[in-house]
Structure 1
Amino acid sequence: LFQAVYHGHSVVFGNYAHIDGIPPYDEFWPDEGRPDPARERDWHAICPDQFPLEIARTVAFGCQPLVTNLTRAHLASDALAPDIAFFLDLARFYHAHRPWLLWGDMLPPATIETAKLDVTCIQRGIFTKPDAIEPFTVPRPAVLHSAWLAPDGQAGLVLINYTRTSQPIHITPPPGYRLNAVADHTLPPRTAHFLKLSQQ
């Protein structure tokens, strides 16, 4: 908190996102609190868009992407490979756009016309038992976005399609800015894009 209040920039690492819906449990913690692995469900199949949504939201808001409890088993999983590839792409995207996402200032957002999706999610802490989990759905835009101003004065728009399908969008730039590109785009699935803006 001190960093955020007394310094112009604060490096924030991601969120508590589980790629498979199963939180870590330390071997030194009490056994009676350990969830039974046999009672776990295939949370990834139940909530296929939750992890990509959480990671996309993290980057769109200027935080460094972070996964909790990522193991070699996850990296070797064919079922999780698309999510891992998307996570790595977003990490590279964040790194390439640090002048905006890390050192820049967030601008008022653009207006993006995009589809709405019902995303199935679970809410889980370390000690949450599998039997206590009730999946729920939340309506979310298919494309997340934010606008940023880098220290050199260059403005830009971040667009992230976290879904498994292509998404058409129409962009109205933030007040006082114009696009250096066309306003209508179709974003491929699980991709991040950066469009430069010019002041009017």
Structure 2
Amino acid sequence: MDKPSGLLSVPGRGEDKQDCAASRVQARFPEALVVHRLDMATSGLLVFARSPEMQRLLSDAFATRRVEKRYVAVLGGLVEADEQAIDLPLVTDWPNRPRQMVCHQRGKPSQTLLRVLKRDTARQQTRVELLPLTGRSHQLRVHCLAIGHPILGDALYAPPALQQAAPRLLLHACEVGLPALGEVPALQLQSPPPF
């Protein structure tokens, strides 16, 4: 599924949070099962399985990092290095949930590769490609913040000026590469960013 920004991946608590990617996919394919999630504010590719066996295989592929994921984001400021590896441990910021934070004492290992696609000096923005090597909650958002370049439109992590610089979080899951699983061949899924 190509999930729009603002839609939950799975149902939330409360009657008003039942519309989600999972319920929309299951309306068409009742057997569909959730494999992974995207933040509500993030748009892009979301993978579902159509059998418990495939859900197990796909979930294992995600857990063992055999799934390639590529995101595009627009960051505030001009990122200096053309490429960089961000290796910062993340943990839930309990007093400010659902926010996450970098914590070298209690955080879980989290790695992201960042590649600059384009620098816009007039707007002081950088379009980047993000390749998460791990899959922590809010990982890309917190890693970009930690290097001093929050994602535009990020209501949780960006300062007010950068929150208001875009009508939504400018983060899109644009590519998912699934390995061969059983008799199912490898598959490369793509979705161009809508920004």
Asked which structure has the greater CA Rg, the reply is 1
TM over 0.5: no
**What TM-score do you get using the length of structure 2 for normalisation?**
0.22
Please identify which structure carries the higher helix content. 1
